[in-house]
Amino acid sequence: MAKIIPFRAVRPTRAIVGLVASRSYQSYTIEEREARMEYNPYTFLHIVNPGYKYDQVITGEERYKLVKNRYLEFKEDHVFIQDDKPSFYVYKIVNRHHQTFNGIIAATSAEDYEKDIIKKHEDTIESREKTFKNYLKTVGFNAEPVLLTYPDNSTIASIIEETQKKHAEYEFTMTYKDTHYLWKVDDEAVIKTIQDEFKKMDTIYIADGHHRSASSYLLYQEEKANNPNHNGTESYNFFMSYLIPESDLVIHEFNRLVKDLNGLTKEEFLVKLDADFRIQNRGNTPYTPTKQHHFSMYLDGDFYSLYLRKNTYDFKTSLDALDAQILYKTILKPILGINDLRNDNRISYSHTHGSIEMVNIKGSVDSGEFKIGFGMCAVTIEQMKQIANDGLKMPPKSTYILPKLRSGITIYEF
C-alpha cells in the first residue's frame, strides 16, 4: 500500500521559473556552470554552488551552510514563494524529441522505502548516501524529485488529463528545448482520490534517484531516533518524488568503452570471445543490436555483431539475463580484467541512443582514447521490475532513464 501526501511546495514565481530551473549540478561542465551563473542571477545553480559568489571552491559542512544561506536569500528576495495549501502537482514534460511525460509531484514515504513498497534496482554507495544525508540535514530541503514509476492507472490518468485542461501554473521552455508545465492540485476530494489509488498499489519502483532516496531514508532514521515524540507525520518522514506511469517511462541503454585489451592482441582477444559469442565482422557498417543478448562491438576499425551462445551461459536469475550483466560476466571481468565497474578508470560509459551511438563509439575508439567499444539493447521495464522484485541489483550504468528532471521547480522543506 503506497503512501503519498500533498505538501506546500516552495517554488519560483511564474515570471522567472524558467530562469531558476536547472539541470543537476553534476551534468554541467565547469564552463557551462560558470556561464549560466555569470549571466543568470536567478539560476538554482547559485544556491547549490555558493562558493561562486566568493570565487572559492567550498566543500563539506561549510558549503552546506552556505547553500542554506543562498536558499534563504532567494526566499527573502521573493524569488521563491510557498503555497498556502498542501497540494499535489501535475507535471508534464515534452522534450526536444517530442516525447511526453505526465505525472504527479508528491511527498512519498520513507517508511515505504524501508518496507520495500518502494523497490530499488541499483546499488548505492554508502559514503555517498551519508554525504547527501548530511547535506539534506543541514540545508533542510529537497529540490529535485526522485523519479518513481507506478503501474498504469486509469483513474489517475483521468485526473491528470482533466487537470491539464486548465490553465497551467507554469509553462516554460529550457535551453535544451524541453517544455515544462505544472498545475497545482489542492482540491481535497481530488487529493483523496489520488491517495486512494496509490493505496491500492503494492509496489512502486525507483526509476532514477537511488542515492537521493537512500539519503532521505537515512535522514528519516536519524531524525526518528532523535525525536522522542515521533508520530510519523513529521516532514522528515517523506521525500519529494515525481511519479509517472510505467507507459511514460523511457529507458535507453548505457554502452561501454574500454581503454585497452588487458595485454591481449586483437587476435587473442577474439579467440577468447569466441567461447561465449558467435562473432561476425561487419566491416565499416555500423551495427546496432535489436534483440536481447545481441551486442555490437567496435575494434580496430571494424564493427562486429556478437550473439551470445546460450548453451554456454547459465541463466540462474533475472539478473543473469540482463545484457549489462552478461557483458560483465563474459567479457569485461574475465577477459578484460575489469572487476570494479564503478571505480576502474579503464572503463567509461556512453548513452547516446541508436545508430548515432555506434558512430560516437567509433569516434572515441578511432581517436585513440579507447581501444574497444560495446553496444547493447536497452533494459525493458519488465526486466527492471523483475530484478527489483527479486531483490537483486543491476550493474552500474545499466539504464539511462527519461525524463531527466530539473532542480528548483518545486522544493520540499523538512
Q: Determine contact, residues 178/98, Cβ cutoff 8 Å.
A: no
- The least confident of 51-55, 81-85, 147-151, 193-197 is 51-55
Q: Which residues pair with residue 251 across a beta bridge?
A: 401
Q: Are residues 265 and 219 in the same domain?
A: no
Q: Which three cell numbers stand for residue 335?
A: 577477459
Q: Are residues 245 and 133 in the same domain?
A: yes
Distance CA 193, CA 190 (A): 5
First vs last C-alpha separation in the chain: 23
Q: Are residues 201 and 311 in the same domain?
A: no
Q: Are residues 193 and 323 in the same domain?
A: no
Q: 168-227: per-residue pLDDT in tens? A: 999 999 988 999 999 999 999 999 999 999 999 999 999 999 999 999 999 999 999 999
- The least confident of 4-13, 46-55, 156-165, 264-273 is 46-55
Distance CA 290, CA 65 (A): 49
Q: Round the average pLDDT of the chain to a whole number and report it.
A: 94
Give the CA angle between residues 353, 356, 361 to the nearest 5°: 95
Q: Count of CB atoms within 10 A of residue 332's CB?
A: 23
Q: What is the CATH number of the domain that holds 367?
A: 3.30.1760
* C-alpha gyration radius of the chain: 23
The larger pLDDT score, comparing residue 27 to residue 333, is at 333
Q: Determine contact, residues 3/198, Cβ cutoff 8 Å.
A: yes
* DSSP E strand stretches across 284-365: 294-299, 302-308, 347-350
207: containing domain: 4-250+403-413
Domain count, the chain: 2
Rounded to two decimals, the pTM is: 0.92
Our measurement of the distance from residue 83's CA atom to the centroid of its chain's CA atoms, rounded to an integer in Å, reads 27
Q: Are residues 14 and 97 in the same domain?
A: yes
Q: Are residues 96 and 157 in the same domain?
A: yes
